[in-house]
Structure 1
Amino acid sequence: MGETPFSLTYGAEAVIPAEINLCSARVVGFAPDENEKLMVKQLNLLEEHREVATIRPTEYPQKLARRYNRVGRKREFAAGDLVLRKVIGNTQDVNAGKLALSWEGPYRVTAIVGAGAYNLEDLKEKLLHRPWNVHNLKKFYH
């Protein structure tokens, strides 16, 4: 939420004893008269800080959804589309290291099996043995 529970309750940040003994930057600049003025000002703004803190948790999912909807792309393929397939698990070249290919293909979509699942064949018309999920495919542009 951007605020500590202590600051929402008491309107100030806590200073732990270790900070006082080690003369941290927060303690070195301490001036009692200036602190009193700032504490009164903070108390006047305390209710506003609490309101902002209660708004943030509801605002975050909305921001997240807007970003996802802006950046996220829905992928749908039709029969006959050319796609690339993500290289996963044991199909990766062990000796290539971090320079290994992450996509292979192209493959042709032969049929839509279900929600987001597709049967594929290579360009020599050899069918792949299992359906592939839409998350492991991307459009091939040639």
Structure 2
Amino acid sequence: MTPFHLVYGGEVVVPVEVGEEFNRIKVYDENNAERRHLELDLVDETRAKVVVQLMAYRQRMKQSYNRRVIPRSFQVGDLVWKKVKPVDDVTKLGAPWARPFKIVDKFHSSAYYLDDEDGWKLERP
């Protein structure tokens, strides 16, 4: 189904500058108006079918994504690398990760509060 069909209950008719009449115009008769009313009565049912198909598609996408995700969890005190979001002058060759941060608090399974101080020290020989 096209979005136009879902909204207006039929396919879009684009005027052609050639001068040839469309098949819809050529074969139009009084039954077409009656048939158009019947089609409009079925628009809600068509929309409902599309919603069900969309929900099924989203479920399949979710399952496909979840199969590839590796679940990770961290504890308070762990050192983690923080991903850097690119800003104005950062090139694609710049480092995508910032220095190690220490986890201070855990809000829920995927949200952590990181220590902003330089509490970590690397020992160099």
- TM-score for both structures, normalised by structure 1: 0.44
Tell me: higher relative CO, structure 1 or 2? Use CA pairs within 8 A at least 6 residues apart.
1
